[in-house]
Amino acid sequence: MKRIISPAGLRSLGCLAAAIGLVPAMLTLAAVAADTNRQVLVRDITSVEGVRENMLVGYGLVVGLRGTGDTQQTVFTVQTLANAMQKMGVLIPPSTAVVKNVAAVFITASLPPFARPGTRLDVTVSSVGDARSLEGGVLLMSGLHGPDGQVYAEAQGPLVMGGYSAGSGANRKDVNAANVGLIPQGAMVERDTSVDLSGFKTVSLLLRNPDFTTASDIADAINKEFQKPIANALDNSRVDVNVAAASSQSVTVLISRVQNLVLRVHTPAKIVINERTGTIVMGGDVKLSPVSVIHGNLSIQVVTSYDVAAVLPVPSGAGSPEGDKKGKNDGPITLQPVVVPQTNLSTNDDAAQTMRLDEGANVDELVKGLHAIGTTAHDVVAILQAIRAEGGMQADLEVQ
């Protein structure tokens, strides 16, 4: 008997076949997407040797405070103010200077690579003396020095505070840090510190997380991109690229091309534990050998209470000089309570909970299992240390 399929049925079968055909493709796309999530750019895991920031530091005065500046006991503030006034043509004895509206501060900033005269920098201003607050203050022009002692920038401007301090004594209210302020774009670069890339014969990439496999993969990706061996991994933290062999139009273009390459990163199997806070961070590649964990809670509580056990009759004249002279205790009888301590001991021994992990178990299974048996963060720290000592954890354990 032949079965006749209507046009609507043919359309349904066609849709079903198309859906079945899409399943392998969807699985493939999901696998590709999962693989892409583990890929990073070379720029995100490396830095170029010689292209870095430099630290700047300076010393200056913040003025315009509302009586919250340094006290007279801060000698260097008084001396600095006298020197600043002398530069302005005003000569004053340091002993007569009142500095309650002035505070001595340190100024810090980061000088970015390729900074040129006129580049603006953010600066942080921090109190040096005993000033209570820098709120409302203005930093006078101060030089920012580099490690070599040269002045690379000048800073000046009003402070932006992230906190405040109000009141005094027991009624004082402090919010965040009132002795540290920020001056956005408050410094201007005065000295050219740009690096001449045209003189680079070799571009060295420094890995932020040293790893031999990652360094080798970076060199292979560069050689594949340029289709010739121009990169070489020297060790687990450095990859050298030959500029001449790359035949690039400029070093800048070469660095840009290299930094935009994509590769997979191999994260080490490592567990970081902070016993003070109970914080545990575990990498996804941590693997466990077959292990069983038995966890139970035992608590012992000792409580001492004081009860009135009896009442003893005591003559009112007992122990007095008059009663002792007469040799007897006359007078009315008083009742004196006697307090007796009562010590109670109680124990609570919970039933042990068991967790079993099979070969190749990962971090997710471990965490779920530990939560299932009712462990706390500090219990997990002890359990992980025990598993590591037993040899069931194939990962580095770092305790902070």
Q: What is the pLDDT of residues 87-142, one digit of tens each?
A: 888 888 877 777 889 999 999 999 998 899 999 999 999 999 888 889 889 999 99
> Quick check: 391 pLDDT over 70?
yes
- Could you give the CA distance from residue 147 to residue 111 in angstroms, rounded to a whole number? 11
pLDDT of amino acid 125: 95
Percent of the chain with pLDDT over 90: 33
Percentage of the chain modeled with pLDDT above 70: 68
Instruction: Please provide residue 219's backbone torsions phi and psi, each rounded to the nearest 5 degrees.
Output: -60, -40
The residue-averaged pLDDT of 270-285 equals: 73
pLDDT in tens, 214-242: 999 999 999 999 999 999 999 999 999 99
Average pLDDT, the chain: 77
What's the CA gap between 57 and 125, in Å, rounded?
10
Cβ–Cβ under 8 Å, residues 189 and 117: yes
Task: Give the pLDDT confidence of 38-86 residue by residue, as tens digits.
Answer: 688 999 999 999 888 999 999 999 999 988 888 888 888 888 888 888 8
**Residue of 43, 38, 32 lying closest to 218 (CA atoms):** 43
Worst-scoring range by mean pLDDT, 202-206, 256-260, 272-276, 309-313? 309-313
From the list 123, 153, 119, the residue with the least C-alpha distance to 139 is 123
Whole-model pTM?
A: 0.62
- Top mean pLDDT of 16-25, 166-175, 180-189 is at 180-189
The reported pLDDT for the residue numbered 336 is 66
Closest C-alpha to 151, from 100, 96, 190? 190
Residue 82 to residue 69: CA distance in whole angstroms: 16
Tokens of 104: 């001595």
Q: Tell me if 260 sits within 8 A of 41, measured CB to CB.
A: yes
pLDDT at 322: 53
The residues, ordered by sequence, that sit 6+ positions from 364 with a Cβ below 8 Å of its Cβ are: none
